[in-house]
Amino acid sequence: MLIRFSVANYKSFYEETSLNMVKTKERNHPHHINNDTSGDFKTLKSAIIYGANASGKSNLIKALAFFQSFVLNGRKRNQSIGIEHFLLSGKSGEPSSFEVEFKINKKAYAFGFKATDNEIKEEWLYQIYYSEQKPEKLIYYRKGQKLKEYGKSLPEKTANYLKERIPEAHKSILFITKAFEDSFDQFKNVNDWFKNLRIITPHHSLKADIFLDIDNDNDFRKFIASSLKYLDTGIVDVSIKKVHVDSLKISTKYIDIMCRNMEEGQNVTVPYFLTNGEKILFQKKKGKIQAEKLFTHHKTKNNKIKKFDLKDESDGTKRIVDLLPLFYQAEKAVLVIDELDRSLHPEISNYLVNHFLQNKEKNDSQLIITTHETSLLNTATVRRDEIWFVEKNKEQSSKLYSLSSFDQRYDKEIRKAYLTGRFGAVPKIHEHQNG
């Protein structure tokens, strides 16, 4: 579970800003609180983020996605870190900072770093308790390429590993990433949390291999098919079928390159734009490339089944197909979706959010979305501490704040108050003047 994410000096966020998932004293919708009782605090199941175009909503998601990618994939020696700093401060060389506090396997951690585009300046990992009786416990603190401090109560194996390996980590790679590469299991919880963080953006599509479970998991197939039918897409079922590679509109040159670089038995998906919007999984078997593709099923007038390529479905249906597996497999995961409402009818956006919040079996999961869909702005659907706004100040730096910071009555119509500018985070459209 995510407890808090903080970022500073990244894209449109200059000063440190935090998305805090810890519940407030709000009493509405108690079932929106995760039931983990292993600490002195409880986290919320969702955060719904609003703001005008170019306010910084997507930049917050991009910051978290960058953090995840940098932790899991690292950088090669002497490779640029690739941080996109805030460009309007009038200063250069200031480090950006990222920190995430999270809970996994009944333990809570705080992990973060500060870095310029060329090197890690600081990196830290703590075990945290959020208890006055039990203070946070340092695991390690790195400054530059030196281990400055480590937890004195750490097992000898961990302490020796830190002392030996941190100096070997080059300046553009996180030590935690080095530990993952070494398969050092003492940091497995951190690795697992970042791997279970699922982020989807308008320019990102789920890999096709997630749909292989349709053939192996009947409940999954029923969920996908019934949801598509309920949402009035015209689809009555879905299936995965083998297809000839020659029938796909992908260049033979690309297929040959893929074959040379794949290992026997390996599954590979290719970028969405190369498959013309299809869900295609490639596998190397006996030295040759084989392909499987997702089909949708429609009923004809005489009640026969007609299979459609996914590329023949509407943009909205493709978007739904992309999102449904996330909601099905949401247990003990953090789902982050930028622009949930893109290509979706408001009723479908509402259905997806309500389905998630009302699913009591997934109490350890969380949903974080950015959206313009104002029909979700009501206390009958969400708590006030689940609603967030992003707005830029006069210096064009984004700030993030919660509805719970306003003195807002429960019976107040939040949607109307938001659209009239009561909470900020709406576009300021100036009258156009000719000449």
Element (DSSP H or E) covering residue 242: strand 237-243
pLDDT of 37: 57
**How far, in Å, CA of 360 to CA of 116, rounded?**
43
CA within 13 Å, CB half, 94: 18
DSSP characters over 296-349: EEEE-TTS-EEEEEGGGS-HHHHHHHHHHHHHHT-TT-EEEETTTTTT--HHHH
pLDDT of 431: 56
Label residue 213 by pLDDT band (50, 70, 90). Answer: confident
Give the 3-state secondary structure of residue 139.
Answer: strand
Q: What is the pLDDT of residues 86-144, one digit of tens each?
A: 999 878 789 999 999 999 988 999 999 999 999 999 999 999 987 667 788 999 999 99
Closest alpha carbon to 106 in 34, 157, 45, 46: 34
What letter would DSSP give residue 262?
Answer: P
Give the 3-state secondary structure of residue 233.
Answer: coil
What is the total residue count of the chain? 435
Range list of H helices, 166-217: 175-181, 188-195, 213-216
Region 382-389: mean pLDDT is 92
182 has pLDDT over 60: yes
Element (DSSP H or E) covering residue 163: helix 156-165
- The better pLDDT of the pair 324, 39 is held by 324
Mean of all residue pLDDT scores within the chain: 86
Label residue 360 by pLDDT band (50, 70, 90). Answer: low
Supply 117's token pair. 């585009």
pLDDT of 212: 64
Region 18-27: mean pLDDT is 91
381 has pLDDT over 70: yes
pLDDT of 6: 97
Give the 3-state secondary structure of residue 57.
Answer: helix
**By the 8 A CB rule, do 399 and 393 touch?**
yes
- The better pLDDT of the pair 276, 386 is held by 386
Closest alpha carbon to 19 in 54, 52, 56: 56
Give the 3-state secondary structure of residue 249.
Answer: coil
pLDDT of 359: 73
Region 263-286: mean pLDDT is 78
Window from 203-217, 224-238, 381-395 with minimum mean pLDDT: 203-217
pLDDT of 163: 85
**By the 8 A CB rule, do 120 and 172 touch?**
yes
pLDDT of 318: 87
Say what the pTM is.
0.87
**By the 8 A CB rule, do 244 and 230 touch?**
no
Closest alpha carbon to 109 in 180, 35, 190: 190
What separation in angstroms does the CA of 407 have from each of 8, 375, 404, 422, 424?
Answer: 27, 21, 7, 11, 14
374 torsion bin: left (phi>0), alpha (psi -120 to 50), beta (else): alpha
Render the burial of 367-384: b for 16+ CB within 10 Å, e for the rest.
bbbbbebeebbebebbbb
